[in-house]
Amino acid sequence: MTVLLPDSLDRALAHLAAEPGAHVLAGGTDFMVEVNYGHRRPETVLSLRRLDDLRMWHVEASHVVLGACVTYAQLLDPALADLMPGLAQAARTVGSPQIRSTGTIGGNLSTASPAGDMLPVLAALDAEVVLASSTGVRTLALSEFVTGPKRTARRADELLIAVRVPVANGPQEYLKVGVRNAMVIAVASVAVVVDHDGRTVRAALGSCGPVPVRCHDAESWVAPLVDWDARRIDDPRTHEAFGVRCAEAARPIDDHRSTAAYRSHACRVLARRALARCL
Amino acid sequence: MAVRDRARGGLGTEAARPDGIPKVRGDFAFSSDLHVDGMLWGRTLRSPHPHARIRTLDVTPALAIAGVSAVITADDVPGELHYGLISADQPVFARDVVRFVGEPIAAVAADHPETARRALEAIIVEYDVLTPLVDAEAAAGWEPIHPDGNVIRSVVIRRGDAAATGDVIVEGTYEIGMQDQAFLGPESGLAIPAEDGSIDLHVATQWTHSDRDQVAACLAMPTDMIRLHLAGVGGAFGAREDVSMQVHASLLAKVARRPVKMSYLRDESFVGHVHRHPARFWMRHHADRDGTLRRVEVRTTFDGGAYASSSMAVIGNAARFSVGPYRVESVDIEATAVRTNNPPCGAMRGFGSVQVCFAHESQMDLLAAELGMDPVELRLHNALRTGDRLPTGQVLRGAAPVAECIRAAMAHPMPDASPDEVLARPGGAGRTSTATEIRRGTGLAVGIKNLMYSEGENDTASATVRLAGGVATVKSAAAEVGQGFVTIAQQIVREVLGVEEVVFHSASTAEVASAGSTSASRQTWMSGGAVAQASRLVAAAICQAVALREGLTPEEVSLDGTTVVTPTARIPLADAVPDQPIEIATTFHHAPTEPLDEDGQGDADVSFAFAAHRAVVDVDPDLGLVRVVQITTGQDVGRVLHPTQLLGQVEGGTVQGMGLAVMEEIVVQDGFVKNPSFTDYLLPTTLDAPEILATFIEEPEPDAPFGAKGVGEPPIISSGPAVVAAIRDATGAPLRRMPVRPADVALG
């Protein structure tokens, strides 16, 4: 096995252009498990360890730009958590402190597990994914990037370098059901983002379909029912009906972690509660 | 010279644990850390099918790979083709047929784990897939999947008036899922062949001598040609009672003439050891208006999986303790362990008593509700006492402070309302719940567990104590699996001989006779008894030597505690030691037991231990999420020998029982384990563990060395049922199945 340790993005992209089969290694919290169990036998590994820029983040006009190697622990930094509280809440649910110090947002996106905790929040935030190759840079909406369970639109010669998140002015909630009180894969999760300026409510579900599920019907149904001046919803039946509509968007399955019926039920409860906490 | 009555670090003290500092510092070598220059790596080829005929098996492509030193199959086993703890029914390697997913078919030894993995891939196996038997309740009527048949053992216990009944009858069916021991240290060991053809096997196990006998039989070697050494054990909980890689590694080393190390990966470990039996129950309880139990009827089936392991003993326990720690004059019990193509099940902490406790305690709560009686009062009313008869007719002669355990568990203060922070609520880090969505509930459960082996299995424990140069050395094959016997043995020697410096030497099978298994809550009693007996014989030998030296008759020299008394002097034992070392080996026996007769009657057990647990839970009923807030316990321990180690056993067992109540389950579908990882087999984390408050009831057990009962198993038996009872109390959901899944609460 060859391990490439480029010290600049250009060199990394050149390696990928020359050897598009190389496996990209960021935090390694998914990858090393697969290697240890023989599920992956990469000939070439491209490590991002020396690409310090990818671990940085900055605010650019109305967007937060997160380098692909920003860790879950970094997302908990109050400076970032204030800008994207939902993402920080989701990051806190990932693994143990050791995993959160190592695992990255780019890794979570590239693994593209239906249970990935970043995915529903980024979907509700209307985040974009920035892909670079030696021939240029392109930006995809999250829904274009994640194409299926553990499948993405990244070409083999491309590197996910950043995530662009529009800053939303308003409360955000990420609620996740697992059978354990920490360090657990989501059985079902719901992200709700309120944008007071745009007067929108956006919601997405995790672990309830092959890709993160945006609840467009529920979103467009609820927006006119919000008292945007008071920034609240007075009628609790609206929260309940919002939960029902979000759950209708779910496409869950039965597996060893839970049942489709429970996942739909959990989406309804979580979406109702998330909205009630926001508005 | 100062004379102390007692050496420091004796019984009842917080003696320092000899392996404590290395374990905390990470210096302790576990079996998976074993290494010797030039060693090979062994790996196992396993069945991908729950039931299939092996049509062809061709290992020649694996042997052709550079770096592969040996490939072995059933054809290479020189001795017994089968092994097993009680009945040798499990093939070393499957030859014609595979009976569970993960059953070994071949093993390879190679210069690198990766080479070994490739060698496994190169082995050609063709199968004719057969329909698997996966429903335990269909097993008896199914075509036999093993020459020994599908019913491993059926135990009937009938006693008293079969027509007896009461004013009130309650009936229920219950189900328990498959729990895993989930030790952290995987099955691992290192087999080193010697010039003379003998083999040193270093392995993490619960019983070196049993492993040695099984390895020797399969390798057709005399037992003294196999020397078993206990390697560092990373947890056991019953799963290391059965042989896993012992025979394979030894045979690979013999064939390759090189040291061979094997260490399972986590997914392999989940199919490489036996689990706790899943079980189904039907029970009917008859009682008078005042709550007096009149008759209990039990039908239960335990799924033993493909091979017997210790199923015969587990189902014996299940039958004998299915009524719980209660007095009842009429019983009709039928308990059956069957064979299926599911993963094999065997020993796990609690050994049959855990499953029955969920059923009998659920019944007691149903009965209390039906009678309109306080469930605590109902249990106190029927609680066993010394002198009562068990369903087997055996009279309870030892300590039986069942009512005291219940009162102690109930006497602890109730917890305050949970702090208003999200991590303290159900759902934890997932932030699912706010305080208004939470309901609190309380439940009580009581359990009974036998100590030592039973039903005529009259085992022994041997130990050697040597005193030389002021240092006592204990040589024992008692497997230290984390429980702390190494400390207890030192404390016993200090107590008896008054010598402070005591070394515990974990002896190989070549050095000492068997200590028996580290299981059945037996080592403190059995190996502790052997160490005490040997120490007393050493003390007697010192007295003899003093008599000889001083020209006294043996009658003129006596012992007063740890002081030698002569007509003219009082000498501390440690100072009276002659120049020559004294070394005494001895074997300890427990009071004999007898098999059950055809009606399940007989004095089958040596002793019993009891515990009660009260659980307080917070539940989010809409989502079915649970946070266990507090578990209090009263436990019958006989005598506290080491307060911190005792508390460690109690806290660990209580949380392991709680895990079975709310999250721990091996999910098996059509014979396949669906969650063979710690990602999906969930164990409680520190955020899930409740506050635990324990009271120890010290009523000395007459027959036990120092009056102390085994303490490892009682904590796991009733903690889970207490948690389920508390969830019922909070939600009203019937919850006839353990573990409780969120959907069981939220969707009914």
* pLDDT one-digit tens code per residue, B638-672: 999 999 999 999 999 999 999 999 999 999 999 99
User: Could you report the per-residue pLDDT of B670-718, keeping only the tens digit for each?
Assistant: 999 999 999 999 999 999 999 999 999 999 999 999 999 999 999 999 9
Testing the interface with B: which of A180, A185, A244 to mutate, by most B Cβ within 10 A? A180
Average pLDDT over residues A250-271: 97
| 3-class SS of residue B492 | helix
The angle subtended at Cα B88 by Cα B87 and Cα B92, nearest 5°, is 150
Interchain CB distance below 8 Å, B423 and A182: yes
Burial bucket for residue A10 (CB in 10 Å: 0-12, 13-18, 19+): exposed
Which of A38, A180, A255 has its CB closest to that of B682?
A180
**CATH topology of A2-166 equal to that of A172-278?**
no
Testing the interface with A: which of B431, B679, B744 to mutate, by most A Cβ within 10 A? B431
Residue B578 has what pLDDT? 86
Q: How confident is the model at residue B577 (pLDDT cuts 50, 70, 90)?
A: confident
- CATH architecture under which domain A2-166 falls: 2-Layer Sandwich (3.30)
Residue B624 has what pLDDT? 98
Q: How confident is the model at residue B537 (pLDDT cuts 50, 70, 90)?
A: very high
- In chain A, domain spans: 2-166, 172-278
For B505, how many CA atoms within 13 A lie in the half-sphere containing its CB? 17
Which of A182, A257, A262 has its CB closest to that of B680?
A257
Q: Does A30 touch chain B (CB under 8 A)?
A: no
Question: What tokens appear for A119 in the block?
Answer: 């995915």
Interchain CB distance below 8 Å, B432 and A176: yes
Q: Does B430 touch chain A (CB under 8 A)?
A: yes
Q: Is the pLDDT of residue B333 over 70?
A: yes
Which of B429, B622, B663 has its CB closest to that of A179?
B663
Contacts of A277 in chain B (CB under 8 A): 434
Peptide bond into B739 cis (omega under 30): yes
Please report, rounded to a whole number, the percentage of residues in chain A having pLDDT higher than 90.
96
Contacts of B437 in chain A (CB under 8 A): 273
Contacts of B431 in chain A (CB under 8 A): 89, 93, 173-176
Give B561's contacts (C-beta < 8 A, 6+ positions apart). Answer: B5, B6, B498
Residue B575 has what pLDDT? 86
Interchain CB distance below 8 Å, B743 and A258: yes
User: Could you report the per-residue pLDDT of A24-41, keeping only the tens digit for each?
Assistant: 999 999 999 999 888 888
Taken in order A180, A186, A187, A192, the sign of the CA dihedral is: positive
User: Could you report the per-residue pLDDT of B355-401, keeping only the tens digit for each?
Assistant: 999 999 999 999 999 999 999 999 999 999 999 999 999 999 999 99
Give A17's contacts (C-beta < 8 A, 6+ positions apart). Answer: A133, A134, A135, A157
Residue B5 has what pLDDT? 52
Q: Is the pLDDT of residue B581 over 90?
A: yes
Interchain CB distance below 8 Å, B684 and A270: no
Taken in order B319, B321, B324, B330, the sign of the CA dihedral is: positive
| 3-class SS of residue B419 | coil
Q: How confident is the model at residue B6 (pLDDT cuts 50, 70, 90)?
A: low
Of B271, B246, B239, B248, the closest CA to residue B48 belongs to B271
Residue B424 has what pLDDT? 92
Q: Does B429 touch chain A (CB under 8 A)?
A: yes
Provide the CATH number for the domain formed by A172-278 in this structure: 3.30.390.50
Average pLDDT over residues B51-61: 98
Q: Is the pLDDT of residue B177 over 50?
A: yes
Average pLDDT over residues B2-7: 53
Residue B100 has what pLDDT? 98
CATH class of B279-454+596-746: alpha beta
Closest chain B C-alpha to A157 CA, distance in angstroms: 29
Chain A residue with the nearest C-alpha to that of B682: A180
Would you say B423 and B687 are in contact if contact means Cβ atoms under 8 Å apart?
yes
Average pLDDT over residues A234-255: 97
Question: What is the Cα Rg of chain A in Å?
Answer: 19
User: Could you report the per-residue pLDDT of A39-76, keeping only the tens digit for each?
Assistant: 888 999 999 999 999 999 999 999 999 999 999 999 99
Interchain CB distance below 8 Å, A273 and B434: yes
Q: Does B367 touch chain A (CB under 8 A)?
A: no
Q: Does B111 touch chain A (CB under 8 A)?
A: no
Interchain CB distance below 8 Å, A266 and B742: yes
Q: Which CATH number fits domain B20-28+459-589: 3.90.1010.10, 3.50.50.100, 3.40.190.290, 3.30.365.10?
A: 3.30.365.10
Q: Is the pLDDT of residue B265 over 90?
A: yes
Q: Is the pLDDT of residue B4 over 70?
A: no
Percentages helix, strand, coil for chain A (3-state, rounded to 5) are 40, 25, 35
Interchain CB distance below 8 Å, B432 and A37: no
Task: Locate all alpha helices (DSSP H) within B475-624, ordered by sequence.
Answer: 485-497, 523-550
Q: How far apart are CA B100 and CA A115, in angstroms?
A: 30
Residue B344 has what pLDDT? 98
Encode A39-68: b = buried (16+ Cβ within 10 Å), e = exposed.
Answer: eeebebbbbbbebeebbebeeeeebbbbbb
Q: How confident is the model at residue B3 (pLDDT cuts 50, 70, 90)?
A: very low
Residues of chain B with CATH 3.90.1170.50: 34-131+183-236+240-272
Provide the CATH number for the domain formed by B34-131+183-236+240-272 in this structure: 3.90.1170.50
Q: Is the pLDDT of residue B2 over 70?
A: no
Please report, rounded to a whole number, the percentage of residues in chain B having pLDDT higher than 70.
99
Taken in order A222, A225, A230, A236, the sign of the CA dihedral is: negative
Q: Where are the beta strands (DSSP E) in B317-459?
A: 330-338, 439-451
A201: how many CB neighbours lie within 10 A of its CB? 26
Testing the interface with B: which of A181, A262, A275 to mutate, by most B Cβ within 10 A? A181
Q: Is the pLDDT of residue A206 over 70?
A: yes
Which of B667, B688, B746 has its CB closest to that of A181?
B688
Q: Is the pLDDT of residue B1 over 80?
A: no
Residue B400 has what pLDDT? 98
| 3-class SS of residue A78 | helix
Task: Locate all alpha helices (DSSP H) within B286-397, ordered by sequence.
Answer: 311-320, 353-371, 375-382
- How do strand B582-589 and strand B460-468 relate by DSSP bridges? antiparallel
Question: What tokens appear for B183 in the block?
Answer: 């030790």
Average pLDDT over residues A4-18: 97
